[in-house]
């Protein structure tokens, strides 16, 4: 029998806003609201869209030594990105690779004071957690955080909307991470996003998610947006979706994500290689590949479809 679909902490709010719910990565999620996907896409480009991404996995990584640098070095066993140079209050995009150089998942890594926060894709989070535990448990304690919600507010009006509730947000730069209260709820905020627009992600205890979402929706220019607009926005911005554009059959170089491999991890760098599939990936960086992900500009009015 199929397992029943899970609900995020915002499930009832989605229903009250007219969200059309569909199965996604084991959850019931809103694919769109009453306005429709195109209207939500355009509104996010013009003002701000609020997305529920609580289905994604949040993982805390803490070094057994107590030194966050040791957690960063341990994580470098699993990803080709430079984690050691990540400064406190900053975030970096990274890839989990397999022994063949394929991509297990893509993730965001944030450095807090004495620990690392990993945000992984919903469909991969159980496998990612097992992979991370197997790879770094000798050096780190690894804690899944299923009691956390995650909300993204994206678009040119996102900064003003969040700053209206938390003035400290106005001082954040792209890829900054900070901790502050929003509507009385303690949040871990990052300024990034997967739409190509300015935006923020807010992680918080699940019991505060509705309060934060309703406070943001009450700000000028903020409207709810579903999975449909989330996908069309990231596609328009040329951002990868795991399982669609990247998976274990694509390497970071084939996926045109070699920008996520910093100089220190490349041949001749201070900590070259040392991640799964390094021999393949470093050879592709040197010699090139027979295939490469490219962008295609759509002509006419027909929407772009998968495949």
E strands present in 172-294? 177-182, 185-190, 199-205, 222-224
Cα Rg of the chain, angstroms: 19
Q: Which of 123, 148, 127, 124 is nearest to 60 (CA)?
A: 148
Helix (H) or strand (E) holding 28: strand 27-32
**Mutual orientation of helices 68-75 and 125-136 as an angle, nearest 10°?**
110
> What region, left, alpha or beta, does residue 300 occupy, with left being phi > 0 and alpha being psi -120 to 50 degrees?
left
| Cβ(54)–Cβ(147) below 8 Å | no
Instruction: Give the count of beta carbons closer than 10 Å to the beta carbon of residue 114.
Output: 12
Q: Which long-range contacts (CB under 8 A, 24 or more apart) does 288-291 make?
A: 288/253, 289/251, 289/253, 289/254, 291/254
Q: State how far the Cα of 249 lies from the Cα of 247, in Å rounded to an integer.
A: 5
Angstrom CA distances, 41 to 18, 160, 196, 216, 305, stand at: 17, 19, 12, 18, 15
Tell me if residue 126 falls in helix, strand or coil: helix
Angstrom CA distances, 192 to 104, 158, 218, 275, 280, stand at: 22, 11, 22, 26, 30
Q: Say whether 40 counts as a known binding-site residue.
A: no
Q: State how far the Cα of 48 lies from the Cα of 37, in Å rounded to an integer.
A: 14
- Tell me the binding residues for substrate: 201
- Tell me the binding residues: 201
């Amino acid at each position: 029998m199929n397992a029943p679909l899970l609900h995020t902490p915002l499930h009832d709010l989605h229903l009250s806003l007219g969200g059309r719910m569909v199965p996604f990565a084991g959850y019931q999620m809103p694919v769109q609201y009453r306005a429709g996907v195109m209207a939500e896409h355009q509104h996010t480009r013009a003002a701000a869209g609020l997305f529920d991404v609580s289905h994604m996995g949040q993982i805390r990584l803490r070094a057994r030594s107590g030194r966050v640098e040791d957690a960063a070095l341990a994580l470098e066993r699993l990803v080709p990105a430079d984690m050691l140079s990540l400064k406190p209050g900053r975030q970096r995009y990274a890839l989990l690779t397999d022994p063949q150089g394929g991509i297990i998942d893509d993730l965001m890594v944030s450095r807090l004071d004495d620990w690392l926060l990993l945000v992984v894709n919903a469909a991969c989070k159980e496998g990612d957690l097992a992979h991370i535990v197997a790879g770094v448990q000798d050096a780190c304690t690894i804690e899944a955080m299923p009691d956390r919600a995650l909300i993204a507010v994206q678009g040119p009006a996102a900064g003003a909307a969040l700053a209206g509730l938390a003035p400290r947000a106005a001082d954040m730069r792209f890829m900054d991470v900070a901790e502050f209260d929003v509507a009385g709820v303690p949040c871990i905020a990052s300024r990034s996003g997967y739409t190509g627009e300015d935006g923020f992600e807010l992680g918080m205890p699940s019991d505060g998610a509705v309060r934060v979402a309703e406070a943001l929706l009450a700000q000028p220019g903020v409207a709810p947006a579903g999975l449909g607009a989330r996908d069309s926005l990231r596609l328009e911005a040329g951002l990868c979706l795991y399982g669609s554009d990247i998976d274990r059959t694509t390497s970071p170089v084939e996926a045109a994500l070699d920008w996520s491999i910093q100089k220190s991890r490349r041949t001749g760098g201070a900590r070259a290689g040392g991640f799964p599939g390094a021999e393949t990936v470093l050879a592709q960086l040197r010699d090139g590949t027979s295939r490469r992900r490219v962008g295609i500009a759509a002509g006419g009015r027909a929407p772009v479809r998968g495949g």
